[in-house]
Each structure stands twice: as structure tokens, then as C-alpha cells.
Amino acid sequence: MGKKDQMQDGEEHYGRTKTTIVKEELIRSCAVEEEEKQEEDEEVETGLRKGPSSGARLWGRVRNTLLRQKLDPQSLQGKDWQRTVISMNGIEVKLSMRFTSREFSLKRMPSRKQSGVFGVKIGAVTKRESSKVPLIVRQCVEEIERRGMEEVGIYRVSGVATDIQALKAAFDANNKDVSVMMSEMDVNAIAGTLKLYFRELPEPLFTDQLCANFTEGIALSDSVAKESCMLNLLLSIPEPNLLTFLFLLDHLKRVAENESVNKMSFHNLATVFGPTLLRPSEKDSKIPMQPISMSDSWSLEVMSQVQVLLYFLQLEAIPTPDSKRQSMLFSTEV
């Protein structure tokens, strides 16, 4: 099969998958609404509460409202905040929603405050800290490995946004109490902070210069040539980036060892982290800025990014040059 045929097959598969997802979301939305209607009827007839608690049912309504807004094409056109109030049994939830296009929501933004860690190049952070792996990466990984390895959906389940922003501000301010803050927060917020750190790097961990080469290398059909290409590319990224990636890779492998409990396989982890580690900066992105419904090429590039990380996760060992290997193995501090 030629490259053109493979691209067409991939685009057709993506189109069918996207249609199926939208259809399933609509079906789930209708099913939940019907279930709520039945419960309300039962309460009126019997005067007794049945089924989920008021809080659970209220959040179900919030979810359905968000789902309808997401699927409504008209709601995607406006740039202003849309405000909605959902009420039930004397409880009100006030929602403010606004659509943000992909080119802005996924845009890497270098920080204007170089004294922080978010939006600052890894090399600058490790040099300032006199470390081989940024402190934020080490602390988040240590806390997750302490109490989050058996958390179902770790890294896939979103943390509370306010907690994530609080941790981001604490790390940027070099707050000495950040460890105490993390110990009191839900582990999913810590996982979200780590993902946010990599997502907000001014350039991807695999660098803008080499990201396209990685996605081309993963497409090689010859396994020997692929391994040689991928390893040579990996060893070409700057040393702070390489050591940080290897540190993260070892952690993700340990997470996957608990797959039977946390449900996070290599593929699930690659799906979460692949685009975060390989998505190029906007200035280097080869993806045309098209509406989301037309971004088939963007979807195919994301699939390649997932496959790159999955490849490294499945490798039993990654050889590194002697100097870098010794730097990692014989140092008491990373």
C-alpha cells in the first residue's frame, strides 16, 4: 500500500471515528436525560428519593449542558463568555463557557518571567537549580509514586483546575511549602500539574528541530532501521531534555506496571503524553490552521506523536553514551 493510500485510509478511519464519538455522546446524553425524567416522576408519585443523590444528579445535568454546548455549532461561533445557571433542589451551579480554538488552546507560550519554571526552557531551569532534572518534575513524580500508582486513570483523569493553578504559582514562585501543598491535594491535580509543565514548555521536550524527524522515523517499516533512527534522534536532543525524558519514561513504565489496578497501559500513557512531548511550537507546526472539523492532518500527526512515545515505552532498554549513562547512574542527585 502506498503512502497516499495509507493517508486516505487514516483520514477515512478518523472521519468514521469522529462521527461515532459524536453519535455516542448524543446517545449518552439522551439516555441520562431520560433516566433523570424517570427519577423525577418516581419522586413525585412516591414522595421518596430513589437513584443517585441530588449532588450526583445535579452534576449530571451540568455535564449534559456542557455536552450540548460543545455539540451545538452555533455556540462555537461566538467569542464571548456564555453564562448558564443550573438549579435543582435549592442548589445552583453557575457556569461560564467560552470556545477557544485549537491554535490558541494548544499554543506554547514562552514565559516572560524567566525566574519561574513554567514556560522556561528545561536547560535554563536545570542550570539555575544545578540539577539534571527539573525540581518540579522530580517532586511531582515522587508524590505520584508515593500515593497515586494505583489511582484509576492516573494522568487521564483531570485534576481540579484551581489546585493545578495554585501548584503552578507555587512552583513559579519557588515556594518552599510546595511539598506540603502537594501532600494535601488530590493526586490527579499533581498529575495535571506535571502535564501542564510539559505542555507549556516554550518548545517540545523532543525539540522543534527534531520533532518532525521522530514522526518520520516511526513510520519506517524496517525494524532495525527504525530502532537505529529513533535512538540516534533521541540521543541528539539536548542533555537536560534527554535526562528529563528518561526520568519521565522510567516513571511511566512503573505506572504501567500497575495497569491491572490503575487501567493505564502503555498505549493510554502514550495517548496522554505523546502530543504533550512532541507537539511543535506554533511557528514550527506544519499543520494548517483549519477549523476543528476539518483538521484531519492534525489528527494524523497526533497519532504519530502517540506512536513515537509508545515505541520508547515498549523498548526494554535505551542505550546512552557513556558520559550520559555515568552522569545518571553515579550521581546522587538528579
- Going from N- to C-terminal start, the domains of the chain cover 20-99, 105-329
Least confidently predicted of 54-58, 213-217, 309-313: 54-58
Amino acid at 122: I
- 8 Å CB contact between 86 and 36: no
What tens digit of pLDDT does each residue of 45-64 get? 444 344 455 656 666 666 66
**Per-residue pLDDT, 16:** 46
Amino acid at 24: E
For residue 203, give the nearest of 302, 308, 124 by alpha carbon. 124
Q: Is the pTM of this model over 0.75?
A: no
Q: Which one has a higher pLDDT value, 169 or 93?
A: 169
Q: What residues pair up with 193 in beta bridges, in sequence order?
A: none
Overall average pLDDT of the 310-326 stretch: 75
What is the spatial distance between Cα 118 and Cα 60, in angstroms, rounded to a whole number? 34
Q: Which one has a higher pLDDT value, 289 or 248?
A: 248
Overall average pLDDT of the 21-36 stretch: 46
For residue 149, give the nearest of 17, 263, 249, 55 by alpha carbon. 263
Q: What residues pair up with 85 in beta bridges, in sequence order?
A: 94
Is the pLDDT reported for residue 70 higher than 90?
no
- 8 Å CB contact between 15 and 23: no
Q: Which three cell numbers stand for residue 268?
A: 493510554
**Per-residue pLDDT, 47:** 41
End-to-end CA, the chain: 46
Overall average pLDDT of the 148-174 stretch: 94
What is the spatial distance between Cα 159 and Cα 181, in angstroms, rounded to a whole number? 14
**Per-residue pLDDT, 107:** 56
Percentage of the chain beyond pLDDT 90 is: 52
What is the spatial distance between Cα 200 and Cα 134, in angstroms, rounded to a whole number? 14
Q: What CATH number should be reported for the domain whose range is 105-329?
A: 1.10.555.10
**Per-residue pLDDT, 32:** 43
Is the pLDDT reported for residue 78 higher than 60?
no
Q: Which one has a higher pLDDT value, 169 or 43?
A: 169
Sign, CA dihedral 188-190-192-198, equals negative
303 band by pLDDT with thresholds 50, 70 and 90: very high
